[in-house]
Structure 1
């Protein structure tokens, strides 16, 4: 099944392959996820499935969220996410549980999540700008300099690269190799790093 799953980042470590090479890996706790809704072209205009992850108390959900899950007799879930599927994927049913065994060793996946927030950062750190001269008398070391034209247009154009918040946004790392998928412990081991700190919510999607 070419389906995405939700999980949490546990942390990073390193393992050895058969040749004795060190492989940096990230350990993820993935699923089990429950299919909470199946959308079709006839009813909704496109094919997709909605999955839920993370048990939570019903007191922490709104009435619309509870009603949406109770309609399918599904316990309260903290996270919901929708994944597009092809017309050929008709084996999905509401209430079906999807586990980490949907992935296999050697498979490539795209992992997305919120990156680590690094606060307010300047131009050199945020956009890799060059600095000014560091010699005596220069008053332009890390300053932004001119940010636009004069009379015309007389304003700063939208999208100008300036200092501001760095990180804390949704980002995706593509084509990470699955090293191991443990269905008993719901553990997925992937080569390389993934966004965010330990405990960060992640979406894992098969790479095309």
Structure 2
């Protein structure tokens, strides 16, 4: 029986029988050499593609601040205490508007965060009052250096640049906000403790009869077996701690400002129970308010977004 020839000889003759001009075509024709039947074209890179007129991204801190140029407020915000909810009536139309009452208590500028020292611009705001004997010595020295009384609450507010840094020790009252402007309010929601799946996630629940016994409000199955790896996937909606999370209410309209009583009344409801701390700052999705004596460039920003 004749020996079996190699399979490669069936498709092409041996290389020693071919001219030298055809050798490069044979040796580079294959998948391992990247050979393809598609027309030659440039393959785009994964990053920094110049498509749709978008700017090229960079990783420097200066570029990161430039990307936030239009999303950082021009001035600082304030800390307020939620006093409760009420309603305002329009005497002409008789429309009832539910609102939230916030009170500013001895709000002052405590410190600055600058780009050269901290990498970003921010204002540290303090509110309330604490007895000096109830404050640690490092924190008491921090307040003494700023020339302000010990504060019960401290918070930072990011600003666009150094023009939004007010003087240390400056008081911020309700007149800092104007009637009719929009603000963003942040507060921790009311904690509800351990809650089941129906209350926490709005599950429908199981049937009330037909063999169901004492599992009417149970969540049911938590996942498949073999198809999902015989495990419960991360992020599965299950019973657990509910509430106690920071909630941001955007574009809340300032209905009324009372400088004498230190009140700022916002339209609608704000997250959190009575007595919680609320951070209010100019809304980033609305034009910046034109405040007398505010930072430069506010009017240009308002005209550009109108």
Q: Whose Rg is larger?
A: 2
Task: Say which structure is richer in strand.
Answer: 1
> Which residue of the other structure, out of 99, 114, 126, is the alignment partner of 2:173?
99
Shift in CA distance, 63/154, structure 1 to aligned 2, threshold 3 Å: farther
Partner of 2:259: 183
Where 1:161 maps in the other structure, the secondary structure is coil
Greater helix share, structure number: 2
When the two chains are superposed, the root-mean-square deviation of aligned CA atoms in Å is 1.8
Offset, 1:143: 1.5
Cα distance in structure 2, aligned partners of 1:144 and 1:163? 8
Instruction: Report SS of the residue matched to 1:55.
Output: coil
- Say whether the 8 Å CA contact 1:117–1:168 is kept in structure 2: yes
Q: For the residues of structure 1 that align with 2:224 and 2:144, how far apart are their CA atoms?
A: 58
TM-aligned CA deviation for residue 55 of structure 1: 0.8
What are the equivalent positions in structure 2 for 1:119-138 lying under 5 Å apart? 119-138=193-212
Higher relative contact order (CA 8 A, sep 6+): 1
**Which residue is equivalent to 1:12?**
85
Q: What is the match of residue 22 of structure 1? A: 96
Q: 1:68 to 1:88 in 2, by over 3 A?
A: closer
**Residue number in structure 1 paired with 2:232:** 156
Q: Paired residue for 2:132, among 41, 58, 64?
A: 58
> Does the 8 Å contact 1:31/1:98 carry over to 2?
no
Unaligned runs of 5+ in 1: none
Equivalent pairs counted in the alignment come to 208
- 8 Å CA contact 2:112–2:165 kept in 1: the answer is no
CA distance in 1, matches of 2:83, 2:236: 37
Which residue of structure 2 aligns with residue 142 of structure 1?
217
Runs of 4+ in 1 over 3 A off after TM superposition: none
Alpha-carbon separation, structure 2, partners of 1:25 and 1:2 = 25
